[in-house]
Structure 1
Amino acid sequence: MNTDRKRDRPLLARIPVWSLCAAFLFGLSTPFSKPLTALVPPVWLATLFYGGSLFGILPGLIPRMGLLPESRKEFWLAGETTPKEKSALFASIVLGGVLAPLALIKGLTNYPASRGSLLMNAESLFTVLIATLLFGEKINRWMLAGVVLVSTGCGVLSFTETKNSYQGSEFFFLAAFLWALDTNILRALSRLNPLVVTLWKGAGSTLLLFPLAMRSGPFSGSPETILESLLVGAIGYGFSLVVFLRSIRTIGVVRTGAWFGFSPFIGAALSLLFLGEPVSMTFVLSAGLLFLAVSILHKGENQREKPTLIPSENPSVDSFQ
């Protein structure tokens, strides 16, 4: 009976729109970040990205998004915000807002963006493993098969590209691991308003990165470079996080992470299109293997029991679900 009703729903109603949008927005950031790594030092670039992310919350002010806070107190984390939530937010800022982007930018400095994007599929692997080992999420045989295939695809791509004199794959694995930790930490923040989380994460990351950037040396980029960096941050690190958190509130952290795993393919495709990076047979085979792996992970998620979601205290959000 429930299956029949699910099949009767329109196709668009069954598509996890929020998680796919988050994947697309974040996937855009990698190919557009690559040229900037030659113009801006890594710490300064990360600072501009998260400074720009503050502008990414503006689309979230549209009432239809269902993300508007009920009161101004929510913006200041006043009221019912628990110490655990504040600690989780700080950890998310450090891991996902400072360390992970620094690792990604460092990797992009000397490594092809298309290959680096595919290596970021390791985030799906790490997200599932962390959710299973640390947070007790159940894993089925399909998800286990997907984990094995992701490991194989990333391993083959990393090994062969290292032989081709491309250095820096370890930074992508580090970034993937840090963002996987961040993804699971964000489960503790799903009760909070996504706009508030994005604001604090962007501001906190910028405040932590700015002193590091000042110590790394003076900034010498042009106004155009600054604007481009802020735009990448607004779209790829700001609005994508709003949409990502909205997805977690709707379908849970692991399913969101599984769908978000398609973002590396978007980044890889755009890198090939806009940057003109070469395509090898190993790249094609690894991309196909990783796509199969992510698809299998998604199939495993469909066979899992629906995760218990933390209810929203914002009526507009609940009604929009």
Structure 2
Amino acid sequence: MSQAHSHSHLWPGVPLALGSAALFGAAPPLSKLLLDSVNPFMLAGLLYLGAGIGLGLYRLLRGSGANAGEAQLAARDIPWLALAIGMGGIVAPVLLMFGLTLNTASSSALLLNLEGLATMAIAWLVYRENVDRRLLVGAFAILAGAVLLSWEGKGVAFNLGAMLVAGACLAWGLDNNFTRKISATDPVVTAMLKGLVAGVVNVGLGLAAGASFPSVSIVAATTGVGFLGIGVSLVMFILALRHLGTARTGAYYSLAPFIGALLAIFILGEPITIKLAIAGLLMGVGLWLHLSERHEHEHDHEALEHEHSHVHDEHHQHAHDGLVSEPHSHWHQHAPMRHRHPHYPDLHHRHTHG
């Protein structure tokens, strides 16, 4: 009833998380090219609308979740989806925009690194994801690199604006952990809904602040960046959550500022600095500590029933009436079993540790 793993435990979660960070990291330098033509509120709205509309068109071409081998949203998923969209698509952007109006850019850039810390802290302290000293050191090395990249020598201003920016980071940390709860469902639908809601909210804020829609060419460029840098990135982030859990995905995602800084060198011609080199070294050490993790022990799988996209690996040994394609999605049962292999806190390994 069981078969050996045919691939590394790093696959596909780590490449998905790094790919998500790379696409998201590319969005700021590309967006910076558009800021001269677009109000910041309107820019944020169009980026998110590009993500939502682009993924909506993709879903129409691809077909529904069932046809794509993905589990569809069920009634039990709606509260978690609503919480994720509310925190990440409404509360966080609004807090951030108002915080930016009351706080310095340098202080806000530093505070935005709290999102990664909030994501990991909630995953470890509230949802009890497994963590050891190696992962902690790696995560803080990555975060230290991100903080260094944002540092402009002015420190953090502790005022109402700073509190609002920190609140936005906490809301995004909650969003990431709520999204983990529905990561077994079609990620395209989840990301599409997040993009549409956040897009409408931010465009509304832009219009309320007196902004107007830019030219058609600028709208097209902005929505294109949003589709890739936010939409596709978010789909990959949700898929990574399935395989890695929230804390590890959040740590890899924290590499986005460094990727953005590298792209800014090539796209905007920005100089290579000592700060960038040290930040890269810190993040490289943190990345190596995470990639070299090998969490392996004998563990029990309790009886479980759920639905998600899967292939017939060692955790999915069940019969079908007729031939089926892989991957596919349907409601299925897992019998109790005990075995040992390297694993992350994915959909089937969210067990406790002594």
What displacement does 1:192 show?
2.3
* Equivalent of 2:75 in 76, 81, 98: 81
| Number of the residue aligned with 1:198 | 191
Find the aligned partners of 2:19 and 2:261 in 1 and give their Cα distance. Answer: 16
Find the aligned partners of 1:310 and 1:22 in 2 and give their Cα distance. Answer: 29
1:246 aligns with 2:253: no
What are the ranges of 5 or more consecutive residues in structure 2 without an aligned counterpart? Answer: 156-160, 317-325, 329-354
CA contact (8 A) 2:146 2:257 kept: no
What displacement does 1:194 show?
1.4
What displacement does 1:143 show?
1.6
Which residue identity does 1:43 align to in structure 2? F
CA radius of gyration, larger in = 2
What displacement does 1:231 show?
0.7
| Number of the residue aligned with 2:224 | 231
Aligned positions of 1:1-321 closer than 5 A: 9=7, 16-57=14-55, 58-59=57-58, 68-70=64-66, 80-82=74-76, 85-100=77-92, 103=96, 123-162=115-154, 177-300=170-293, 302-303=294-295, 311-314=306-309, 319-320=326-327
Which residue identity does 1:312 align to in structure 2? E
What displacement does 1:162 show?
3.0
CA shift in 2, pair 1:13/1:280, >3 Å:
closer
CA shift in 2, pair 1:181/1:14, >3 Å:
closer
1:213-254: CA deviations, max 9, x gaps? Answer: 221114152222111111111111112222222222234333
Find the aligned partners of 1:310 and 1:30 in 2 and give their Cα distance. Answer: 41
Find the aligned partners of 2:99 and 2:229 in 1 and give their Cα distance. Answer: 17
CA contact (8 A) 2:113 2:147 kept: no
Which is strand-richer, 1 or 2? 2
Find the aligned partners of 1:46 and 1:203 in 2 and give their Cα distance. Answer: 12
Larger mean CA deviation between 278-287 and 128-137 belongs to 278-287
Aligned residue-pair number: 300
CA contact (8 A) 1:120 1:264 kept: no
CA shift in 2, pair 1:203/1:15, >3 Å:
closer
Find the aligned partners of 1:202 and 1:233 in 2 and give their Cα distance. Answer: 9
Find the aligned partners of 1:50 and 1:252 in 2 and give their Cα distance. Answer: 24
Report 1 or 2 for greater relative contact order, CA contacts < 8 Å, sequence distance ≥ 6. 1
CA shift in 2, pair 1:39/1:26, >3 Å:
same
What displacement does 1:91 show?
2.8
What displacement does 1:47 show?
1.3
Which residue identity does 1:24 align to in structure 2? A
CA shift in 2, pair 1:106/1:52, >3 Å:
farther
Identity %: 29
Find the aligned partners of 2:206 and 2:72 in 1 and give their Cα distance. Answer: 27
Aligned-pair Cα RMSD in Å: 4.3
1:123-157: CA deviations, max 9, x gaps? Answer: 44332222111211122011221244345444545
Does the residue aligned with 1:312 lie in a helix, a strand or coil?
strand
Which is helix-richer, 1 or 2? 1
What displacement does 1:76 show?
9.5
1:271-301: CA deviations, max 9, x gaps? Answer: 111112233322321232133224324445x
Find the aligned partners of 2:98 and 2:23 in 1 and give their Cα distance. Answer: 17
What are the ranges of 5 or more consecutive residues in structure 1 without an aligned counterpart? Answer: none
CA contact (8 A) 1:60 1:239 kept: no
What displacement does 1:94 show?
3.2
Find the aligned partners of 2:80 and 2:134 in 1 and give their Cα distance. Answer: 30
CA contact (8 A) 1:252 1:307 kept: no
Q: TM-score, normalised by structure 1?
A: 0.74
CA contact (8 A) 1:249 1:310 kept: no
Find the aligned partners of 1:307 and 1:253 in 2 and give their Cα distance. Answer: 21
1:92-144: CA deviations, max 9, x gaps? Answer: 2233234555648987xx869xx96x986654433222211121112201122
Which residue identity does 1:19 align to in structure 2? A
CA shift in 2, pair 1:180/1:310, >3 Å:
farther
Find the aligned partners of 1:144 and 1:99 in 2 and give their Cα distance. Answer: 28
